[in-house]
Amino acid sequence: MTKQEEQQKKEQEYQELVKKVTPQNNLFLQMVKAFLVGGVICTIGQGILEGAKALGADAEMAGTWCSLLLVLCSAVLTGFSLYQPITTFGGAGALVPITGFANSVCAPAIEFQKEGQVFGVGVKIFTIAGPVILYGIFTSWLLGVVYYIGKMMGVM
């Protein structure tokens, strides 16, 4: 067997191994699960919103309570290791912005708490939150500069 044939045989065996160990995903089923999980989270949020309005809160206060309670629920579920199975089942549907963000901030803090309050929780909690805060502030500054220049030029 020549060196080239041996190389081709190894590549073919490798491709067969990759095909064998690569998980086969049903895209349609994943989309249905994401839709259902995201829909349930959003329905719970809408229920909180409507409940707060029924108790006499104005729209802004009801939205505040909705956000607060969804973040709290996500953090508590993450703390009890119950949010991970939801994300495993629902995929991107569990990443509804406010609950997904709360989970992504709490999970590293919980995971690294054994390293102490400063070097564990204090450092790892900003693994996700830090870049979001940084780019949020930078983007708002950049848009402020564009707005300011636009105002000076009479465009806005």
Query: What percent of the chain has a predicted confidence (pLDDT) above 90?
Result: 46
Tokens of 17: 């191994």
Average pLDDT of the chain is 87
Q: How many alpha carbons fall within 13 Å on the CB side of residue 118? A: 0
Q: Which of 89-121 are b and which e, b meaning 16 or more Cβ less than 10 Å from the residue's Cβ?
A: ebbebbbbeebbbbbbbbbbbbebeeeeeeebb
pLDDT for res 131: 79
Mean pLDDT of 95-110: 80
> For residues 27 and 133, what is the distance between their CA atoms, to the nearest angstrom?
33
Q: Is the per-residue pLDDT at 27 higher than 70?
A: yes
What is this structure's pTM? 0.66
Task: Render pLDDT for 39-87 as a digit per residue (tens, 0 to 9).
Answer: 999 999 999 999 999 999 999 999 999 999 999 999 899 889 899 999 9
Q: Is the per-residue pLDDT at 92 higher than 80?
A: yes
Q: Is the per-residue pLDDT at 120 higher than 70?
A: no
pLDDT for res 39: 94
SS3 156: coil
Instruction: Categorize the per-residue pLDDT at 29 as very low, low, confident or very high, splitting at 50, 70 and 90.
Output: very high
